[in-house]
Amino acid sequence: MTALLEIRDLKAEIAGKQILNGYDLTVNAGEVHAIMGPNGSGKSTLSYVLSGRPGYTITEGQALLAGADLSQMSVDERAAAGLFLAFQYPLEVPGVATMTFLRAALNAQRKKRGEEEMSSPDLIKRVKELAKILDMDMEMLRRPVNVGFSGGEKKRAETLQMMLLEPKLCILDETDSGLDIDALKVVSNGVNQLRSKDRGIVVITHYQRLLDYITPDVVHVQSAGRIVRTGGKELALELEETGYARYQAEAA
C-alpha cells in the first residue's frame, strides 16, 4: 500500500542555508505521528517545505503525498490534494471576511477535485457546528480572518479550518502553544474527531501534555534538520525527563 506521506532523504534550504539534512519519514493513513525537537531544528521548515512556501527549496530527495510528488504541485494544488498545515503563527488577513475566506477555500478545493461546491447555507451550518465543538463565538467568525484574535483564538481558528476542509494529511505546527488548559482540551477533542483510518496526522509539539490528549502512534525526535530517533509514546515521556541534550550532541 502507498504511504500517505513518504519523505525520502529530503534536503532543503532557505536563503541558501541548508535546514533539512536528509529527512526520512513515512506516515500511513490512520496514524498519528508526533515530532518533537529543539528550537531551530527545522520542524516548521519541514512543514513549509511540504506545503510549498516560496523561498524554501528542495535540493535533494523527495516528498510524496499518496504517491504524488509534492514538488510538482503548486501550493493550492497540494491543499486540494489533501495537505493541510495548521500554522505555528497563523496570519491575520485584514479586510477578508472569515466566511468569504472559508467558502473560497473549501469550494476551490472541491472544484479542483471535481466535487460539487458547498452552498452558503450548508457552509454556515457546518461552521456553526464546528464553532460549537471548538467553543468559539460565531461573532469572531464575522470578523476578518484572524484579525485581532488572541494567540489561542488563532489556534482554534486554524483547527476550525482544518475540520472544515477535512484534509487527508494534517500537520499541526505547535497548535498547542498559546492554548490555556481548557482550550488545549477543546482543540485536542476537535483534532481527535478527525482521527480516522483514512487520515494521517502529524503533530509538532514541544510538550508532552498535548500527547496526553492526542495519543500518538509514533514519536520522532528531530534535531538539526533530520529525524534522529523514533519510538512509541513513551519516548515523549523520556524526553520530558532528559531533554534534547544527547540528541543535539549526536547531530553535531
Partner 1 sequence: MGHAPTTPTRKLTDAEARLAEIFATQQSAGAPQLAKLRTAAFDAFSRTGLPNRRDEAWKYTDLRALLRDVKPLATPPEDSAKQSAQNAAVLAGVATRRIVFVGGYFVPGLSDLGDLETGLSVMSLSGALAKGDAATTAQIGKVGKVDDPAFALNTAFMGEGVVIRVGAGACIDRPIQLVFVAGAQPATYFLRSLVIVEKGARATLIESFEGETTQEYHVNAATEVVLESGASLERLKISREGAAAMHVSTFVASLAADAQLSDFGFNLGGGVLRNQSFIALNEPGAHAALRGANILKDKEHADATLFLDHAAERSESKALFKSVLDNSSQAVFQGKILVRPGAQKTDARMMARTLLLSEGAQAYCKPELEIFADDVQCAHGSTVGALDENLIFYLMARGICQAEAQSLLTEAFVGEVIDAVEKRSVREALTALVSERLRLRQ
CB 176, CB 211: distance < 8 Å: no
Where on the chain is the footprint of partner 1 (CB under 8 A)? 51-54, 74-76, 78-80, 84-85, 87, 90-91, 93-96, 100-101, 104-106, 108-109, 112, 144, 161, 165
Q: What is the DSSP letter of 186?
A: H
Q: Which residue is nearest to Mg ion (CB)?
A: 44
What is d(CA 4, CA 121) in angstroms, rounded to the nearest whole number? Answer: 33
Choose the contact partner of 208 out of ligand ATP, Mg ion, partner 1, none; CB within 5 to 8 A by kind. none
Rounded least distance, CB 43 to ligand ATP, Å: 4
Rounded least distance, CB 101 to partner 1, Å: 7
CB 240, CB 209: distance < 8 Å: no
Where on the chain is the footprint of ligand ATP (CB under 6 A)? 14-15, 17, 19, 37, 39-45, 88
- Provide the residue type at 248 as one letter: Q
Name the helix (H) or strand (E) containing 237.
helix 234-242
- Pairing state between β 83-86 and 200-204: unpaired
Choose the contact partner of 19 out of partner 1, Mg ion, ligand ATP, none; CB within 5 to 8 A by kind. ligand ATP
- Provide the residue type at 124 as one letter: I
Choose the contact partner of 53 out of ligand ATP, partner 1, Mg ion, none; CB within 5 to 8 A by kind. partner 1
Q: Kindly state whether residue 222 participates in binding Mg ion, applying the rule CB under 5 A.
A: no
Distances (CA, A) of 211 to 20, 46, 63, 222: 25, 20, 26, 16
Q: Kindly state whether residue 175 participates in binding Mg ion, applying the rule CB under 5 A.
A: no
Binding mask 59-88 for Mg ion (x = CB under 5 A): -----------------------------x
Q: Which is nearer to partner 1, 113 or 246 (CB)?
A: 113
Rounded least distance, CB 57 to ligand ATP, Å: 12
Q: Which of 36, 48, 9, 21 is nearest to 218 (CA)?
A: 36
> What residues contact residue 194 under an 8 Å CB cut-off, 6+ apart?
162, 163, 166, 170, 201
Rounded least distance, CB 184 to ligand ATP, Å: 18
Q: Which is nearer to ligand ATP, 15 or 91 (CB)?
A: 15
**DSSP readout, 189-211?**
HHHHHH--TT-EEEEE-S-HHHH
Chain contacts with Mg ion (rule: CB under 5 A):
43-44, 88
